[in-house]
Structure 1
Amino acid sequence: MNITQTLESITITTDDDSLFLNLADKIKENFTNSIKSRDKVILFYNENELVQRKYFLKLIGKIYEKISNDKIDFLFTHHKNIKLVYKKANSVQILININIKFDKNHIIFDLSKSDDIFNKYLIKCVETMKYEFFKNENLLSVSVDKAEKLDIFDSLFSFKEHIKYAVNFNFNESEYESFKKRIRIQNSKNYVRRFSMLASLLEEHFETLGCNANDDFETVRAKYLNLTKMYHPDRHLQKTIEIQKSYTDKFQKIGLAYEALKPYFREQDSFISA
């Protein structure tokens, strides 16, 4: 057994498959916020599970002492993610490079250099969030709206070894910090209070576009483009005058709703950038 600690995580690596499975079962039985693959379990911080975490790390410490005849001190463990890894002796890892970009509330993974197994693993990691996999472009776009979800990415990026792969996550650290700052601001009380009130005043416009107040600008814009294409007067020239008028009125209402919502999203960006 090998244990490494960083400021953000504790990694427990073992080549004993029975020990790995036993510890994985204990995590499953006692913790709610974790993800598991064939040879890895990541346990995320949960403020309601501090007691279980304390006893789990105490168990790990006893096992480590028994195996290595050495003691280990777990330092500042409350907010650290815990990673349990099974690494078969003399196993050969596949090296892959994943380029990452950040676009407002979206993390975009370029999976052109990975394979289906890793892609499924990555999707499993983000399955609690809204995501879209563009198979033809080999892109995975993940939408993040809750600050607590950032822990998943901090943990994911902090480890090089994922199942049978050695992974290089390539991204701009400054852009990642700006991305996290954006998400945290959006979850702040001041932001939520301010824009919940504004959104309630614009509720009719959101409904016109088939959206809700929690949708981001990209979603609103996509709905707008789809609806304007559907109701554009040029598409209905062969219909009756009454239907043409009805569709034209709807087309104009859609345009007015979209124009009314654009300042709302600009105000959000200004608030975040302030």
Structure 2
Amino acid sequence: MYALFCKKYDLVHLHHTDGAFILPLLKLRYKVVVTSHARPQEHVKWNWWVNYFFTLNEKIAFKMADQFTAVSKPLKEVYDQVYQREVVFIPNGVDIRTAIGKDDSVSDEEPYILFAAGRIIPSKGLHILLRTLQAMDFKTKIKVVGNLEQIPAYKRQILSLSEGLNVEFVGLFKNKVALLNLVANAQLFVYPTLYEAMSIMLLEAASVKVPIICSDIPANTAVFSNEEVSLFVSEDMDDLQHKILYFYGHKSEAFHKAQKAFEKLEKSHSWATIANQYKVVFASLM
């Protein structure tokens, strides 16, 4: 209502299709660009009515958006097949300047590996990492960043799997510089996610040149190859264990990959580059 009656904009840019229910109102005055970050109805187990809500809003977005963008190539390819209308691929990005300017006030003398996600839910794969480390009798500290309160049953599972391991749950970081410093000081960033459209957390890890092991899901391999990160077969704990052991025996190789990941990020995923791509989309509608 504020946008409709109190302000006049050149256009509106809506992120996430689950907010598309407001498009009929916005379209009374504005041209609208919609950016999709995921299709949650496909990869997370919701109640039927929640799935219906996501699906309906996605259809509204495709019907009413003046231009539709997607943050990953695999997501764009799905939309191309389902809706047969133009979808512009514009990736997620990170602020390289923020990533480089780390805050040294956050430090930890004890070596640790790191898992991080905003919401710790089953699709992020923390249970896979913990089961793998249990099988390895892993002794190094594991720091877990993120909100563990989303699904009580999953929280209980994670706490049970962490028994016998040196796990520190540090909660959700709202200070981006402090988060990036924690990532940068890790020996290794492990990202066993089962589904993403394009993970900003993965990009942020690459931005501080930390060695990365991540699952080989399409969204991850669309960004990085084995030249820049160590990919393991998604949900394959034996392969994940092999990649972790290989890291500890070949650290110089891992840091070389981390440098190459940063260089790719700097070239293709900086906000300066991405802003120019959105500028072209916006200009075409104005």
Q: TM-score, normalised by structure 1?
A: 0.28
Quick check: which has more Rg, 1 or 2? 1
* Higher RCO, 1 vs 2 (CA within 8 Å, ≥6 residues apart): 2
Q: Which has the higher strand share?
A: 1
TM-score, normalization: structure 2? 0.27
